[in-house]
Amino acid sequence: MSVFQHMSFDDHERVVFCCDPESGLKAILAVHSTELGPAAGGCRMWPYASDDEAIKDVLRLSRGMSYKNAMAGLPMGGGKAVIIGDSRKDKSEALFQALGDLVESQGGEYITAEDVGISVSDMEIVATRTQFVSGLPHDSGSAGGDPSPKTARGIFHGIKAAVAHKLGRGDLDGLTVSVQGVGHVGYYLCKDLHEAGAKLIVADINADSVQRVVNEFGAVAVTCDEILSRKADVLAPCALGGILDENTIPTLNVSIVAGGANNQLATDEDGDTLKEMGILYAPDYVINAGGIINVAYEYLNLGDDKDVMAKLEEIGGRLTEIFQAADSQGLSTNRVADAMARQRIGRAG
């Protein structure tokens, strides 16, 4: 099937396929929109079962970055790159040098950074071959570095806004939050939630990651199969996307879904189902914008770390605006957010 006929193709400006036999790099780079500025979005490394899975992921993720950057008020468009490979065994210096060459070949229309499976040290290698990279080590007090803590802090502000809107509470003390995925972003979110007095239920495919949050934050560990159906006030998906569908949504036992995973809804209609069930959904690309805000402030020199932290607090207010609009219009929150985002990037039709 042609990429132009793919169900996730959304008038993307550019889709580039790269195969570098010498380094072993097999990657796809997608630029969704440069209407607001250069397309910014991280690079993900994942052992996709098929090329079609990788294509679907990069198309959906790049569109999400357009929406994310637009809703965050950043002068950037949306793009994404994915590497087909296992980050636990397929990494090499040559591979990330080749990735840097791929990014450089786009002439600045795509800016990369860390995403799932990619570390700061990996981006340092990429930066030896291209200037169009962010998420690099930084001096204390300046913007930059690993975006995961900033993503988590933005989600934390978003959860507080959702709790205020849905439950009428101004704090999280005593509330139960189920966190699915406690890797980089999930770990830092657990830290913020624990410090705010929330009770944690956690699950992850990595047993060491689970044990860490159990030891440090008193979390209750459950299996990955159990986490979605456990009773809690908030479910925070922080693993991979597509987890909310016709099979999993009926099993939910929460009032709020608000987490860091991209593309949490399998389809737009799944957002309608959440609304019908009385579950408040925080659109993922709005609540998880903290990382790209950090990247933008570093790359564009928009301010220091204090400025980034202040910008993250705006995420809660932005979500409240979406929640109120959804209530007044009788629509699901994802449809309201999509309409707002498309308006901002000139694709309202």
Catalytic residues: 80
Distance CA 245, CA 3 (A): 24
- List, in sequence order, every residue forming a beta bridge with 19; answer none if it has no partner: 26
Q: How do 220-221 and 199-203 pair as beta strands?
A: parallel
Distance CA 111, CA 77 (A): 10
Distance CA 76, CA 65 (A): 9
Distance CA 105, CA 98 (A): 11
Phi/psi of residue 5, each to 5°?
A: -100, 0
Distance CA 296, CA 307 (A): 12
DSSP-derived secondary structure for 30-96: EEEE-SSSSEE--EEEE--SSHHHHHHHHHHHHHHHHHHHHHTT-S-EEEEEEEES-TTTS--HHHH
| Whether the Cβ atoms of residue 203 and residue 227 lie closer than 8 Å to each other | yes
The type of residue at 161 is A
| Whether the Cβ atoms of residue 108 and residue 132 lie closer than 8 Å to each other | yes
Phi/psi of residue 131, each to 5°?
A: -90, -10
